[in-house]
Structure 1
């Protein structure tokens, strides 16, 4: 199963390119183009009245789509922002204790990594980082550190961006969560719409951050937060959108919405939400679920993995495959190979018309709906020739 027909615009712009970076800047489906156009038309048709439409229809539709994807009991726990970094700042702003005591890992994405390092420099945070390696023991080591107490915030990825390894102990962290602290934040950017994710059992105790740049196929600017009720009721950093709706707060004080809307920012570009809604509608019309797409990608990954193992993909045979396709259903939508020549390989592949990406000494190959077995065979051939 490939659905190149759903990506005709993007693929036609560079018909010879092999884009194996679906885990990075995922190509946009044709439906997203239609969604972008709709955003423009409705903004100009309704002008000053457009926000009634956005908050009355566009945002609720997007909230419902996120809730359905994650099996959340209430769509109103979902709020949107241009980046997950914005939302992370709002969460941390609500922690009264300073410096904030944070438990995390040495494998988090740069939006947290860099901010955390700066907080430490400024004396605003004390961060304990649990090493990912050896990953076979990571889950036990991380949960043990969290169980030891003494943290205001626990931040961990569902799928680690560099290695593609999956953290499967979210329920254990949720059992430790408390409105008084610690709060648990799961970075789901490489999990959302990459692998089936059911948060119903932990939705009342964990925050979940993700966005549309990758597997949601919607581009930048459509990031979201699921915020459990009772946790961080009065974030310090919010915008004026947070004071519309069912409000609560001290008499004469700053009022907040009681649902996830307490994390709203201010005026923002809503066209990404239109793209997201259009892409989700496209998938529904095509009868495609995240599980379907993940199964398709899994088959392509296995084909590539076997070719590498057979020595058909040049120097990749000498690299360490960090996250091989195995028996587990939950996995990343990319294969990560560690080798000192990874940056050189990426450039050689790019010169050969193949788009991948590199994180330090790890080269990543991402798979999605717009690829088929013939594309994988072409990829193998290029690897065999240039690596």
Structure 2
């Protein structure tokens, strides 16, 4: 290299700031701010990693949403609460939050017998300023007494009024105690304690309820109920119910079993295929009544008025288990704060 070339190289080296040649970080100004050395390579890497991180986060969110939706579709099922509320089974029970009321009038026709009617009322009122721990209950007696006239079915109804105190309420346990009166002549005061346990066995959802009660006219008794729900798919639910009640003065058990397949046709209609049996252990454990039928229920006005038709066959011991057709029509309204 000539002397002119060497001179040009030295001029370039001298003119470049020393910080640009130093691989070490340096302090700038009076604030002594730490400034790392930057090169084109590090700037590119920083931008690349920033872009890569944002892409990965978005992809992760999409994957999470897809997986949640997939699992929901895979394991999603017709909600057991839909069955309870839509078919009005224990609609005002302690599984249901808030104040609710149910009024129903249905007619039932057994082949060879006159048409009969029955009126039903069930109210649960959550008392204010009690943190939902005190409820006022009013229920019509759920017996087999029916009237030949619809007006008499409303007038000749026995009612039960009670004050409920919720002892404990969690995802696994619900316990409460009721004190009230079954109205009649004479009145029949009572006290009732109930404990309910929720559990999950594989794909089965289990609800077990144990009730102890004392009526001044009837004495001590207890009732054990077990309900098991099995989701078939997003529209169908299979349910098994078993109930056994014991009255100390009677000294025998009253038994009841039933099973049902419930199909959610839409948000306004549902179909149920049900079958059951009733019996007791008074002389020997036996069943004396069987039934099998279909229940079709639909919203007919707004979201609180329902109509139901339920044809079925029954086989009773007092009729030598002859096949007897029965058809039932029900008009019902369910009133609640969240409806």
TM range (shorter): under 0.3
TM value normalised by structure 1 = 0.20
Higher percent of residues as strand: 2
TM value normalised by structure 2 = 0.22
Higher percent of residues as helix: 1
Structure whose alpha-carbon radius of gyration is higher? 2
